[in-house]
Chain A
Amino acid sequence: DQQVKQNSPSLSVQEGRISILNCDYTNSMFDYFLWYKKYPAEGPTFLISISSIKDKNEDGRFTVFLNKSAKHLSLHIVPSQPGDSAVYFCAARPGAQKLVFGQGTRLTINP
Protein backbone atom coordinates (compact mmCIF):
# COMPACT_ATOMS: atom_id res chain seq x y z
CA ASP A 1 0.00 0.00 0.00
CA GLN A 2 1.77 3.09 -1.26
CA GLN A 3 0.53 5.84 1.04
CA VAL A 4 2.64 8.54 -0.60
CA LYS A 5 2.83 8.60 -4.38
CA GLN A 6 4.89 10.57 -6.83
CA ASN A 7 3.43 9.60 -10.15
CA SER A 8 6.03 11.28 -12.32
CA PRO A 9 9.35 9.41 -12.22
CA SER A 10 11.06 12.18 -14.14
CA LEU A 11 10.63 15.82 -15.15
CA SER A 12 12.66 17.98 -17.51
CA VAL A 13 12.51 21.79 -17.27
CA GLN A 14 14.29 24.64 -19.01
CA GLU A 15 16.63 26.71 -16.88
CA GLY A 16 14.87 29.82 -15.56
CA ARG A 17 11.39 28.32 -15.85
CA ILE A 18 9.23 26.94 -13.06
CA SER A 19 9.56 23.33 -11.93
CA ILE A 20 6.48 21.76 -10.37
CA LEU A 21 6.79 18.43 -8.61
CA ASN A 22 3.66 16.69 -7.42
CA CYS A 23 2.83 14.29 -4.64
CA ASP A 24 -0.39 12.57 -3.58
CA TYR A 25 -1.15 10.83 -0.31
CA THR A 26 -3.88 8.59 0.98
CA ASN A 27 -3.55 8.66 4.78
CA SER A 28 -5.70 11.43 6.25
CA MET A 29 -3.73 11.13 9.50
CA PHE A 30 -0.66 12.67 7.90
CA ASP A 31 -0.20 16.14 9.35
CA TYR A 32 3.33 17.03 8.39
CA PHE A 33 4.83 16.93 4.91
CA LEU A 34 8.43 17.32 3.80
CA TRP A 35 10.42 17.50 0.60
CA TYR A 36 13.91 16.05 0.33
CA LYS A 37 16.48 16.48 -2.40
CA LYS A 38 18.98 13.77 -3.27
CA TYR A 39 22.10 14.00 -5.39
CA PRO A 40 23.85 10.82 -6.62
CA ALA A 41 26.11 9.21 -4.01
CA GLU A 42 24.67 11.42 -1.26
CA GLY A 43 21.93 10.95 1.28
CA PRO A 44 18.67 12.91 1.00
CA THR A 45 18.82 16.44 2.38
CA PHE A 46 15.87 18.27 3.85
CA LEU A 47 14.49 21.01 1.61
CA ILE A 48 11.21 22.39 2.90
CA SER A 49 8.22 21.28 4.96
CA ILE A 50 4.64 22.21 5.63
CA SER A 51 2.23 21.53 8.44
CA SER A 52 -1.33 20.51 7.72
CA ILE A 53 -2.60 23.70 9.31
CA LYS A 54 -1.10 25.67 6.43
CA ASP A 55 -1.66 25.59 2.71
CA LYS A 56 1.55 27.26 1.63
CA ASN A 57 5.12 27.58 2.83
CA GLU A 58 7.79 29.53 1.02
CA ASP A 59 11.57 29.52 1.36
CA GLY A 60 13.44 31.48 -1.26
CA ARG A 61 12.96 29.85 -4.65
CA PHE A 62 11.05 26.94 -3.13
CA THR A 63 7.35 26.93 -2.30
CA VAL A 64 5.30 24.00 -1.12
CA PHE A 65 1.53 23.98 -1.54
CA LEU A 66 -0.82 21.67 0.34
CA ASN A 67 -4.36 20.86 -0.75
CA LYS A 68 -5.78 18.77 2.06
CA SER A 69 -9.16 18.14 0.45
CA ALA A 70 -7.41 16.67 -2.59
CA LYS A 71 -4.66 15.04 -0.47
CA HIS A 72 -2.14 16.61 -2.77
CA LEU A 73 1.00 18.63 -2.31
CA SER A 74 3.34 20.21 -4.78
CA LEU A 75 6.79 21.76 -4.76
CA HIS A 76 7.42 24.77 -6.95
CA ILE A 77 10.95 25.85 -7.82
CA VAL A 78 11.28 29.19 -9.53
CA PRO A 79 13.46 30.09 -11.26
CA SER A 80 14.92 26.62 -11.88
CA GLN A 81 18.70 26.38 -11.90
CA PRO A 82 21.05 23.63 -13.16
CA GLY A 83 22.03 22.84 -9.55
CA ASP A 84 18.43 21.87 -8.89
CA SER A 85 18.89 18.73 -11.00
CA ALA A 86 18.41 15.92 -8.49
CA VAL A 87 15.89 13.37 -7.29
CA TYR A 88 13.14 14.89 -5.13
CA PHE A 89 11.27 12.84 -2.55
CA CYS A 90 8.13 13.91 -0.79
CA ALA A 91 7.49 12.44 2.64
CA ALA A 92 4.71 12.57 5.18
CA ARG A 93 4.17 11.59 8.77
CA PRO A 94 1.32 11.51 11.28
CA GLY A 95 2.62 13.59 14.16
CA ALA A 96 5.81 12.16 15.59
CA GLN A 97 5.45 8.81 13.85
CA LYS A 98 7.78 7.49 11.17
CA LEU A 99 8.22 9.21 7.83
CA VAL A 100 6.65 7.63 4.75
CA PHE A 101 8.38 8.46 1.47
CA GLY A 102 7.24 8.65 -2.12
CA GLN A 103 9.15 7.00 -4.94
CA GLY A 104 10.93 10.14 -6.00
CA THR A 105 10.95 12.32 -9.12
CA ARG A 106 14.15 12.90 -11.06
CA LEU A 107 14.30 16.58 -12.04
CA THR A 108 16.60 17.63 -14.88
CA ILE A 109 17.17 21.31 -15.54
CA ASN A 110 18.28 21.95 -19.10
CA PRO A 111 20.48 24.97 -19.90
Chain B
Amino acid sequence: GESVGLHLPTLSVQEGDNSIINCAYSNSASDYFIWYKQESGKGPQFIIDIRSNMDKRQGQRVTVLLNKTVKHLSLQIAATQPGDSAVYFCAVTMNSGYSTLTFGKGTMLLVSP
Protein backbone atom coordinates (compact mmCIF):
# COMPACT_ATOMS: atom_id res chain seq x y z
CA GLY B 1 0.00 0.00 0.00
CA GLU B 2 0.87 3.63 0.25
CA SER B 3 1.02 6.07 3.12
CA VAL B 4 1.44 9.78 2.72
CA GLY B 5 2.61 12.09 5.46
CA LEU B 6 3.19 15.77 5.85
CA HIS B 7 5.82 17.36 8.00
CA LEU B 8 3.80 20.25 9.42
CA PRO B 9 0.07 20.43 10.14
CA THR B 10 0.15 24.25 10.14
CA LEU B 11 2.38 26.81 8.44
CA SER B 12 2.11 30.52 9.22
CA VAL B 13 3.72 33.06 6.90
CA GLN B 14 3.62 36.78 6.22
CA GLU B 15 2.13 38.14 3.03
CA GLY B 16 4.82 38.33 0.38
CA ASP B 17 6.94 35.52 1.83
CA ASN B 18 7.62 32.33 -0.05
CA SER B 19 5.91 29.25 1.40
CA ILE B 20 7.14 25.67 1.28
CA ILE B 21 4.83 22.77 2.09
CA ASN B 22 6.31 19.31 2.34
CA CYS B 23 5.02 15.81 1.79
CA ALA B 24 6.57 12.36 2.17
CA TYR B 25 5.38 9.11 0.65
CA SER B 26 6.26 5.52 1.35
CA ASN B 27 5.94 3.51 -1.85
CA SER B 28 8.79 3.82 -4.32
CA ALA B 29 6.46 2.53 -7.07
CA SER B 30 4.39 5.73 -6.86
CA ASP B 31 4.60 7.52 -10.16
CA TYR B 32 2.20 10.45 -10.12
CA PHE B 33 1.88 13.21 -7.54
CA ILE B 34 -0.73 15.93 -7.21
CA TRP B 35 -1.22 18.98 -5.01
CA TYR B 36 -4.69 20.20 -4.07
CA LYS B 37 -5.86 23.34 -2.27
CA GLN B 38 -8.97 23.25 -0.09
CA GLU B 39 -10.54 26.47 1.14
CA SER B 40 -12.87 26.37 4.11
CA GLY B 41 -16.24 24.84 3.27
CA LYS B 42 -15.25 23.92 -0.28
CA GLY B 43 -14.08 20.90 -2.16
CA PRO B 44 -10.40 20.44 -3.04
CA GLN B 45 -9.10 22.26 -6.09
CA PHE B 46 -6.32 20.93 -8.32
CA ILE B 47 -3.17 23.08 -8.24
CA ILE B 48 -0.35 21.24 -9.98
CA ASP B 49 0.90 17.74 -10.66
CA ILE B 50 4.17 16.03 -11.49
CA ARG B 51 5.09 12.62 -12.85
CA SER B 52 7.96 10.52 -11.64
CA ASN B 53 10.03 11.17 -14.76
CA MET B 54 10.37 14.82 -13.70
CA ASP B 55 12.11 16.53 -10.77
CA LYS B 56 10.49 19.93 -11.01
CA ARG B 57 7.43 21.51 -12.51
CA GLN B 58 6.36 25.13 -12.42
CA GLY B 59 3.00 26.78 -12.65
CA GLN B 60 1.79 30.27 -11.93
CA ARG B 61 3.50 31.23 -8.62
CA VAL B 62 3.75 27.53 -7.67
CA THR B 63 6.55 25.02 -8.10
CA VAL B 64 6.52 21.34 -7.22
CA LEU B 65 9.77 19.54 -6.51
CA LEU B 66 10.06 15.77 -6.44
CA ASN B 67 12.92 13.85 -4.84
CA LYS B 68 12.40 10.18 -5.59
CA THR B 69 15.54 9.12 -3.75
CA VAL B 70 14.12 10.14 -0.38
CA LYS B 71 10.45 9.88 -1.45
CA HIS B 72 9.69 13.52 -0.79
CA LEU B 73 7.86 16.25 -2.63
CA SER B 74 7.27 19.88 -1.88
CA LEU B 75 5.03 22.68 -3.01
CA GLN B 76 6.54 26.13 -3.17
CA ILE B 77 4.30 29.18 -3.37
CA ALA B 78 6.01 32.42 -4.36
CA ALA B 79 4.93 35.78 -2.92
CA THR B 80 2.22 34.25 -0.76
CA GLN B 81 -1.04 36.18 -0.64
CA PRO B 82 -3.92 36.14 1.87
CA GLY B 83 -5.99 34.33 -0.76
CA ASP B 84 -3.54 31.44 -0.53
CA SER B 85 -4.74 30.68 2.99
CA ALA B 86 -6.16 27.16 2.81
CA VAL B 87 -5.37 23.53 3.54
CA TYR B 88 -2.96 21.97 1.05
CA PHE B 89 -2.99 18.24 0.36
CA CYS B 90 -0.57 16.14 -1.56
CA ALA B 91 -1.94 13.02 -3.23
CA VAL B 92 0.07 10.10 -4.49
CA THR B 93 -0.78 7.30 -6.86
CA MET B 94 0.68 4.42 -8.79
CA ASN B 95 -0.31 3.36 -12.24
CA SER B 96 -0.40 7.01 -13.35
CA GLY B 97 -3.58 7.65 -11.40
CA TYR B 98 -5.72 5.05 -13.11
CA SER B 99 -6.33 3.15 -9.91
CA THR B 100 -6.20 4.35 -6.35
CA LEU B 101 -5.17 7.76 -5.03
CA THR B 102 -3.84 8.32 -1.49
CA PHE B 103 -4.06 11.73 0.18
CA GLY B 104 -1.91 13.12 2.95
CA LYS B 105 -3.52 14.72 5.99
CA GLY B 106 -2.96 18.26 4.82
CA THR B 107 -1.08 21.40 5.88
CA MET B 108 -3.04 24.49 6.81
CA LEU B 109 -1.35 27.58 5.39
CA LEU B 110 -2.14 30.79 7.27
CA VAL B 111 -1.11 34.03 5.57
CA SER B 112 -1.17 37.19 7.63
CA PRO B 113 -1.10 40.65 6.05
Whether A associates with B in a native complex is no
Q: Which A residues have a C-beta under 8 Å from some C-beta of B? A: none
